[in-house]
Amino acid sequence: MKFGMCTLSDFDVTGKTVLCRVDINQPIDRKTGTLKDVTRIKGCIPTLKELSERNAKTVLLAHQGGDLEYKNYFTTKPHAKILSDFLGRTVKFIDDVTGPAAREMINNLEEGEILLLDNVRFVSEEMTLFETKLNLNEEDQSKTQVVQKLAPLADLFVCDAFAAAHRSQPSLVGFEQVLPSAMGRLFEKEFSVIADIMESPSRPCLFILGGAKIQDAFMMMNTALKNGVADKVLTGGLVGNIMLLAKGIDIGVQSTDLIKKMNLTEYVEIAREILDKFSNKILLPVDLAYVEGDRKEVAIADLPVKDILVDIGSLTAKTYKKAIKEASTIFVNGPMGIFESEPSEHGTKVVWEALAESAAYSVLGGGDSITAANKYKVEERISYICTGGGALIRFLSGEELPVVKALRYAANKFGCEER
Q: How many residues interact with ligand 3PG (rule CB under 6 A)?
A: 14
Q: Residue 334 has what DSSP assignment? A: S
Nearest of 332, 346, 336 to residue 385 by alpha carbon? 332
Interface pick for ligand 3PG out of 11, 13, 23, 61 (rule CB under 6 A): 23
Question: In residues, how long is the chain?
Answer: 419
313 interacts with ligand 3PG by CB under 6 A: no
Instruction: Report the phi/psi class of residue 369: left, alpha or beta, with left for phi > 0 and alpha for psi in -120 to 50.
Output: alpha
Interface pick for ligand 3PG out of 69, 113, 176, 311 (rule CB under 6 A): 69
167 interacts with ligand 3PG by CB under 6 A: yes
- Cα distance between residue 189 and residue 7, in whole Å: 11
Least separation, in Å, of the C-beta of 74 and ligand 3PG? 12
Q: Which CB, 60 or 350, lies closer to ligand 3PG?
A: 60
Q: Which CB, 5 or 214, lies closer to ligand 3PG?
A: 214
Angle at 79 (CA atoms; ends 46, 125), nearest 5 degrees: 100
Least separation, in Å, of the C-beta of 68 and ligand 3PG? 5
164 interacts with ligand 3PG by CB under 6 A: yes
Least separation, in Å, of the C-beta of 37 and ligand 3PG? 11
CB neighbours (10 Å) of residue 105?
17
Least separation, in Å, of the C-beta of 331 and ligand 3PG? 14
79 interacts with ligand 3PG by CB under 6 A: no
Angle of helix 45-53 relative to helix 185-199, nearest 10 degrees?
A: 140
Q: Could you tell me if 100 and 46 are in contact, meaning their C-beta atoms sit under 8 angstroms apart? A: no
Contact region for ligand 3PG (CB under 6 A) — 64-72, 147-155, 276-284, 346-354? 64-72
Interface pick for ligand 3PG out of 7, 60, 62, 66 (rule CB under 6 A): 66
Q: Could you tell me if 324 and 383 are in contact, meaning their C-beta atoms sit under 8 angstroms apart? A: no
311 interacts with ligand 3PG by CB under 6 A: no
- Cα distance between residue 115 and residue 131, in whole Å: 27
Interface pick for ligand 3PG out of 68, 150, 209, 212 (rule CB under 6 A): 68
Select the residue whose beta carbon is closest to ligand 3PG and give its number: 25
User: How many secondary structure helices (H) and strands (E) does the chain include?
Assistant: 17, 17
The binding track of 206-245 with respect to ligand 3PG, each residue x by CB under 6 A or -, is -------x--------------------------------
118 interacts with ligand 3PG by CB under 6 A: no
Nearest of 109, 185, 68 to residue 117 by alpha carbon? 109
Least separation, in Å, of the C-beta of 343 and ligand 3PG? 26
Nearest of 331, 335, 327, 329 to residue 395 by alpha carbon? 331
Radius of gyration of the chain (CA): 22
Q: Residue 281 has what DSSP assignment? A: G
Least separation, in Å, of the C-beta of 184 and ligand 3PG? 15
Interface pick for ligand 3PG out of 163, 225, 309, 327 (rule CB under 6 A): 163
311 beta partners:
289
Q: Could you tell me if 130 and 124 are in contact, meaning their C-beta atoms sit under 8 angstroms apart? A: yes
- Cα distance between residue 7 and residue 338, in whole Å: 39
The binding track of 388-407 with respect to ligand 3PG, each residue x by CB under 6 A or -, is -xx-----------------
160 interacts with ligand 3PG by CB under 6 A: no
Least separation, in Å, of the C-beta of 101 and ligand 3PG? 26
- Cα distance between residue 126 and residue 117, in whole Å: 14
Distances (CA, A) of 191 to 161, 196, 389: 11, 8, 13
Q: Could you tell me if 69 and 27 are in contact, meaning their C-beta atoms sit under 8 angstroms apart? A: no
Read off the amino acid at residue 252: G
Least separation, in Å, of the C-beta of 127 and ligand 3PG? 9
Q: Which CB, 117 or 284, lies closer to ligand 3PG?
A: 117
Interface pick for ligand 3PG out of 174, 335, 367, 402 (rule CB under 6 A): 367
Contact region for ligand 3PG (CB under 6 A) — 62-70, 279-287, 307-315, 372-380? 62-70
Name the residues that contact ligand 3PG, by CB under 6 A: 23, 25, 66, 68-69, 128, 163-164, 167, 213, 366-367, 389-390
